[in-house]
Amino acid sequence: MPGYSRAAFRAGAFVTMMFCTCAAFAAAAAPPPPHFVLEPSKSLLRFSFVQAGASNTGRFGKYTADVLFSNDNLAASKIDVSIDIASLDTGDKERDDTLKGADLFDVKKFPAARFVSSKIVSSGAGRYEAQGKLTIRNVTKDIRLPITWQTKNEGGKTYGYLTGRSSLKRLEYGVGQADWKSTEWVKDDVVVTFSLKLVPTG
């Protein structure tokens, strides 16, 4: 190649190979992330939406979280959250029954929603992006979930604290059939926020 000797090319290839090998070795040598599960009494999972021009909020009372997380080994870190949709509560029984019905969440056919991360990347200063798949009503979409993570030592144990906020389009997941496909009364955007306390299992 003009201006680039074979020896230089081989040297560059060798350096690249060594760099990739060292990076792979470092990833393999990193200790596995600690395992955490949800402490429900200290956690919150809420959603907000606009109905008839007014902002409304609700929460889910039953859900699980299975988390592997380490700042030093994000490649092996993972978040798996499953939500019991029938546990939703907006403070209005009639509205809750409507939300659980066939034209919205249809909890009889689709009792759970689930998010499973496939990759977690750092955004700097305790902030991360969990990339993965969210399934609602048997519809699965790729999402990017901004999160924060911190640990605290309490009584000799290291607890994890996972928080985040995301905006979803309910109609993309089929939450809105028949008349509920209209956004005249209930807007398409739903904001989900969570603050999870996680207990170490080890």
> Quick one: 189 and 96 in the same domain?
yes
137 pLDDT band (50/70/90 cuts)? very high
* Chain mean pLDDT for the chain: 90
Provide the pLDDT for residue 5: 56
Full 3-state SS string of 121-172: EEEECCEEEEEEEEEECCEEEEEEEEEEEEEEEECCEEEEEEEEEEEEEHHH
> Quick one: 75 and 174 in the same domain?
yes
121 pLDDT band (50/70/90 cuts)? very high
Write the pLDDT tens digit of every residue in 24-74.
Answer: 444 456 899 999 999 999 999 999 999 999 999 999 999 999 999 999 999
**pLDDT at residue 23 above 90?**
no
Provide the pLDDT for residue 129: 98
| Helices vs. strands in the chain: H and E counts, helices first | 2, 11
> Quick one: 26 and 38 in the same domain?
no
Six-digit token pair at 43?
A: 């956690």
Which domain does 10 fall in, by range?
1-30
List, in order, residues 6 or more apart from 58 with CB less than 8 Å away.
46, 47, 48, 49, 88, 89, 90, 91, 96, 99
> At 84, which CATH number?
2.40.128.110
Q: What percent of the chain has pLDDT over 90?
A: 83
Six-digit token pair at 30?
A: 């990193």
Provide the pLDDT for residue 125: 85
> Quick one: 12 and 104 in the same domain?
no
> Quick one: 4 and 69 in the same domain?
no
Provide the pLDDT for residue 38: 98
| Range 11-34 average pLDDT | 58
Provide the pLDDT for residue 21: 46
d(CA 69, CA 101): 36
What is the pTM assigned to this prediction?
Answer: 0.84
Q: Is the separation of the CB atoms in 186 and 50 below 8 Å?
A: yes
> Quick one: 37 and 118 in the same domain?
yes
| Range 82-102 average pLDDT | 98
**pLDDT at residue 15 above 50?**
no
> Quick one: 114 and 189 in the same domain?
yes
172's torsion region: left (phi>0), alpha (psi -120 to 50) or beta? alpha
Indicate the number of domains in the chain.
Answer: 2
> Quick one: 71 and 127 in the same domain?
yes
> Quick one: 50 and 22 in the same domain?
no
d(CA 60, CA 196): 12
Q: Is the separation of the CB atoms in 60 and 45 below 8 Å?
A: yes
For the CA atoms of 106, 109, 114, 118, the dihedral, rounded to the nearest 10 degrees, stands at: -120
> Quick one: 76 and 46 in the same domain?
yes
**pLDDT at residue 86 above 70?**
yes
> Quick one: 61 and 37 in the same domain?
yes
1 pLDDT band (50/70/90 cuts)? very low
| Residue 22 vs residue 154, higher pLDDT | 154
Write the pLDDT tens digit of every residue in 93-113.
Answer: 999 999 999 999 999 999 999
> Quick one: 4 and 87 in the same domain?
no
**pLDDT at residue 174 above 90?**
yes
